[in-house]
Structure 1
């Protein structure tokens, strides 16, 4: 592991943020990321004030499978749903410029939240989801038990949009969801990450990679590119020889 990646992994282990740029060939955006299990109100404030983009919760495919969380794209193209709600057939996602499908699954609020949108509410939703995911997977809960536990604490729709890693992770898809989850895995943490896209101050475009790198450097925040994580996972892959 090179020094830059180790610095980012160490920061994540300590609950500190990391800036992660995907690629000019994808969205061309930098996300500010925190390990979800460390989320506090000040975490949400920094994401809200310093980024400007959508707050999202990136989860591992194993977490999604543990709770049976469906991809919204599958729900919206289900034949029965389209028959009952024909508008879905007209709003189908078939023209993404950077990918073949969306990573979004359900949005959630913790049941102890009020509106769900405050920094306090969103940090509670974020942190408790990560804690519950770790507990359910460590305990080897059945799908039925895990879903019951999820429903006891959370409701949908909510104010935390959740994005699920593609099966196979970075070997199959190199989006921000997979990159964020990959960073958590390298840090040995629960694959649940809270983040937001960094926009220009006027919000018209994504913050340029050079400006994002400078912003991170001024604040001592590690900065990674997607290629850094891809190399790390390639180095960890077992040799076929």
Structure 2
């Protein structure tokens, strides 16, 4: 995922076009995207000839205000709130419609020295104003392209064009993959950009603890859930990283509940990492195996009535385990961690990380001693969840 975003940024800085695909539940469309300050007649011509959609020029609010790009309509009733402004042509163009003229206008929109008086209105280029919060505020091609410009280190001005099929209908995922392959273009999704942007602002602090000194870094996902990386040592080396994926358990981690082994596992993992001198715990906001604290307590009520932890989830209408570890794989990918030694008894964690491209070179067990209060729980994990345990 993040390698694709970085490849897209590399291509954009080189003046190339890329493809950005939005969410399936939105427009489910793909746009060609380029940086406005590097716009070329060749790229504009490629858009008109092969993409065939409407060429628009997303700009930041600052640029729109400076160039006096007023809204096209006083009342915006567009289904997705696309912020069209009055169309423009640069004054140094002829008719404004040729690929050369449109490239000139696009470049003018990106220029830090341009003034409102440098443009005729209306014209043949359609500026779009992006939201200040980017894709984290609005998941459109406008904001996605401007976030890419910002990440590329250039002015927030781009040019985009929807991709149509030969028959004039919209190109969808399969068609876009074919288009990207045919023209050797990097293709990324708005969701990839959103995750990349959210990870850019990941505060990191020192955390002295009873298990030694750690670094603590926060990663926010697209649903605003705050996942925590607790790490020790240099994570940038190529040596496989000792890693624990730990799902949040308020009752066990904070209150020391004896109904589970979560708190014991968390502390054992911290102690193990401190002993080794290098490793990490990804503390994931997946309370109650992904069903949340309220439903977890409801599951506890059902367990007090005779159901086990597996059956209680089913009774509440959930899968036995609702967790998805893609966020963990994304964080590891963002940190360029490719190989891990995984502290786990859970085969699902092994399978999901491997499917996401993380190389697990070794599994290390993390089994706690069973006692009266959690023996039945651990036996259920062993028998029904197929955890790699040996409960006696």
Shorter chain as denominator, the TM-score bin is 0.7 to 0.9
Matched with 1:45 is 45
Q: Which has the higher contact order (CA 8 A, sep 6+)?
A: 1
Are 1:102 and 2:82 an aligned pair?
yes
Give the ranges of 4+ consecutive aligned residues of structure 1 lying more than 4 Å apart after TM superposition: 238-241
Residue 195 of structure 1 and its aligned partner are, at CA, apart by 1.4
Are 1:31 and 2:11 an aligned pair?
no
- Greater per-residue helix proportion: 1
Are 1:206 and 2:189 an aligned pair?
no
User: Distance between the aligned counterparts of 1:71 and 1:20, measured in 2?
Assistant: 25
Residue 176 of structure 1 and its aligned partner are, at CA, apart by 0.9
Residue 94 of structure 1 and its aligned partner are, at CA, apart by 3.5
User: Distance between the aligned counterparts of 2:135 and 2:60, measured in 1?
Assistant: 11
Question: Please, which runs of 5 or more residues in structure 1 have no aligned partner?
Answer: 78-92, 137-148
User: Distance between the aligned counterparts of 2:109 and 2:35, measured in 1?
Assistant: 12
After superposition, give the CA deviation of every residue in 1:142-187 in whole Å (9 maximum; x if it has no partner): xxxxxxx221x21100000110002322222111100111111111
Matched with 2:259 is none
Are 1:174 and 2:139 an aligned pair?
yes
Residue 194 of structure 1 and its aligned partner are, at CA, apart by 1.0
Task: State the TM-score, normalized to the length of structure 1.
Answer: 0.79
User: Distance between the aligned counterparts of 1:160 and 1:183, measured in 2?
Assistant: 21
2:53 alignment partner, SS class = strand
After superposition, give the CA deviation of every residue in 1:35-83 in whole Å (9 maximum; x if it has no partner): 111112111110101101101001122322333433223xx24xxxxxx
Task: State the TM-score, normalized to the length of structure 2.
Answer: 0.50
After superposition, give the CA deviation of every residue in 1:124-151 in whole Å (9 maximum; x if it has no partner): 11112212xx346xxxxxxxxxxxx221
Higher CA-based Rg: 2
Question: Please, which runs of 5 or more residues in structure 2 have no aligned partner?
Answer: 204-217, 219-225, 227-392
Q: How many residues align?
A: 205
User: Distance between the aligned counterparts of 1:25 and 1:161, measured in 2?
Assistant: 25
Q: Pairwise mapping of residues 186-205 of structure 1 onto structure 2 (< 5 A)?
A: 186-203=151-168, 205=169
User: Distance between the aligned counterparts of 2:119 and 2:91, measured in 1?
Assistant: 5
Are 1:150 and 2:116 an aligned pair?
yes
Alpha-carbon RMSD across the aligned residues, in angstroms, is 1.9
